[in-house]
Amino acid sequence: MATQALLLVNLGSPASTEVADVRRYLNQFLMDPHVVDLPWPLRRLLVSLILVRRPAQSAHAYASIWWPEGSPLIALSRQLQEAVAPHWTQGPVELAMRYGEPSIERALLRLAGQGITRVTFAPLYPQFADSTTTTAIEEARRVIAAHRLDLQLSVLQPFYDEPEYLEALVESARPYLEEGFDHLLLSFHGLPERHLHKRDPRGDHCLKGADCCQRAEGDVLASCYRAQCFRSAEGFAERAGLRPEQWSMAFQSRLGRAKWIEPYTEARLDALAQQGVRKLLVMCPAFVADCIETLEEIGERGREQFIAAGGEDLQLVPCLNGHPDWVRALVTLCRRAPVQL
């Protein structure tokens, strides 16, 4: 069998919790037109304004969850890389981040330098979005073109409803579900609504009412992040044997004043506490590795908010991280990845 490398790709992290490193990371992240989809002059102005205060605030948040070995996201991704490597017998397994280090550019150049010509490129995002999946793939294409690399990519597709992913989610959460809980909240990363509208192939999907994403099929489902989140949530709940009243879903991590997809996680936390939920479990199925959005936003600030609103305990269910079922599932999914470039 010809050698085929596997490149695992996640979002990224600042190099440290120093304000300068956080500012550098946020600038790269927010200046990506797939993330802040404004014309360059407006994007530059907006990001410059954000970078006045945001880096110091974010640096404080990162410091609260930073590990001795560095960024939790990077450390957990390294662990996943090491766990996957023995199962990926076709070739080497590398790790890259879309923003920060290790970069996609350096990883692809390293593989090409080893004489590798075939790479399975694996964006570790279960649900499709331009701000995650598309930007990672476009960066790989840019690098290949800029350096004239002889690389053929097989690209892992969004796996939001793949049985292997959903079953790994259930197995990773099973110990927490079996301990008993009042309610489970599935909190996905949010997106500005305009990102959905831009990707709507029919032009009217998002105008059909609040439940349109739950009924999406075909080409709409293939490009609608919110619809894919619903499929992930429903698929998980069904496999976990949860009754409808035992769980709900919401969207977190809003930034700026744009209209973001609803319901908002912050609002759900208050509402659940006011409805009498005392022990709340929260899972974040849009992330496969714990990071600032899970550990700090939910595990720290979310818990404080829920308890202040009348709840007694919020327990964050860890992401898939290096769970053995996830390692096996990821290898299986990557082996099925179709050739795209």
**189 carries a ligand binding annotation:** yes
CATH 3.40.630.10 fits 4-159+323-336, yes or no: no
Q: What is the pLDDT of residue 216?
A: 80
- In this structure, are residues 6 and 91 in contact, taking their beta carbons and an 8 Å threshold? yes
Residue 5's identity, in one-letter code, is A
User: What three-state secondary structure class fits 337?
Assistant: coil
**Residue 208's pLDDT band (boundaries 50, 70, 90)?**
low
Say how far apart CA 214 and CA 230 lie, in whole Å.
6
Give the pairing of strands 313-316 and 279-283. parallel
**Residue 201's pLDDT band (boundaries 50, 70, 90)?**
confident
Tokens matching residue 64: 């609260």
Residues of the chain with CATH 3.40.50.1400: 4-159+323-336, 163-316
Q: What is the pLDDT of residue 230?
A: 96
Q: What is the pLDDT of residue 286?
A: 97
**205 carries a ligand binding annotation:** no
Q: Is the pLDDT of residue 170 over 60?
A: yes
User: Please, which residues bridge with residue 264 across strands?
Assistant: 251
pLDDT tens-digit map of 63-87 = 999 999 999 999 999 999 999 999 9
CATH top-level class of 163-316: alpha beta
Question: What number is the average pLDDT over the span 237-249?
Answer: 98
pLDDT tens-digit map of 30-65 = 999 999 999 999 999 999 999 999 999 999 999 999
Closest CA to 217 of 233, 208, 203, 228: 228
Question: What number is the average pLDDT over the span 78-103?
Answer: 97
Say how far apart CA 33 and CA 116 lie, in whole Å.
30
Say how far apart CA 84 and CA 40 lie, in whole Å.
39
pLDDT tens-digit map of 314-329 = 999 999 999 999 999 9
